[in-house]
């Protein structure tokens, strides 16, 4: 079995010049975890994850302290949101290199790549490198687990 059995074909993607503000509203409306960034040929040039978006909100101290368990009240940082200037930047400033797989990639390989790169979602591309779908740990995991049930019969 390859990733096509468990990927979503209806993928939302953006271009490099899309602003972070526009990306924000896509994340909210579509309730997604990963937004592929594609070029004019629909080939992925990068991705923005929910995690990358949220780093804009994360207080600085979280990066520096080994443990924040003792901080019960985040106080003044609770109501600080990214400035208009930040939201006007393009997604290019925030995106990460895309970890993609081809359509014929096996389930276990796809899952291993997600684990190794510490990702939750992954774009799937055609032989020509065009974006054709997106798959996630849950999608791949469920597909793998379903093979257990078949083998158990």
Q: Which residues sit at the interface with other proteins, rule CB under 8 A?
A: 59-61, 63-77
SS3 content of the chain, % helix, strand, coil (to 5): 40, 20, 40
For 138, the enclosing helix (H) or strand (E) is helix 137-152
Cα–Cα distance measured from residue 13 to residue 131, given in angstroms and rounded to the nearest whole number: 9
Residue 26 or residue 56: which is nearer to other proteins going by CB? 56
Q: How far is the CB of 111 from other proteins (least distance, A)?
A: 32
Count other Cβ atoms within 10 Å, centred on residue 3: 24
From 12, 5, 16, select the one nearest 32 (Cα to Cα).
12
Residue 26 or residue 87: which is nearer to other proteins going by CB? 87
DSSP at 95: -
Residue 65 or residue 142: which is nearer to other proteins going by CB? 65
From 30, 39, 38, 40, select the one nearest 10 (Cα to Cα).
30
Residue 86 or residue 126: which is nearer to other proteins going by CB? 86
Q: How far is the CB of 83 from other proteins (least distance, A)?
A: 9
Q: How far is the CB of 116 from other proteins (least distance, A)?
A: 25
Q: How far is the CB of 86 from other proteins (least distance, A)?
A: 10
């Amino acid at each position: 079995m390859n990733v096509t059995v468990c990927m979503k074909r209806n993928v939302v993607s953006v271009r490099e010049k899309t602003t972070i503000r526009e990306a924000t509203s896509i994340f909210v409306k579509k309730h997604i975890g990963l937004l592929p960034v594609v070029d004019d040929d629909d080939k992925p040039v990068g991705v923005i994850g929910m995690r990358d978006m949220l780093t804009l909100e994360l207080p600085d101290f979280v990066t520096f302290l080994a443990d924040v368990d003792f901080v019960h009240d985040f106080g003044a940082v609770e109501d600080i949101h990214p400035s208009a200037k930040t939201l006007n930047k393009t997604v290019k400033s925030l995106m990460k290199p895309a970890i993609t797989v081809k359509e014929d990639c096996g389930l276990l390989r796809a899952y291993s790549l997600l684990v190794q790169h510490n990702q939750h979602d992954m774009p799937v591309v055609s032989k020509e490198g065009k974006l054709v779908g997106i798959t996630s740990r849950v999608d791949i995991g469920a597909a793998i687990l379903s093979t257990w049930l078949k083998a158990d019969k």
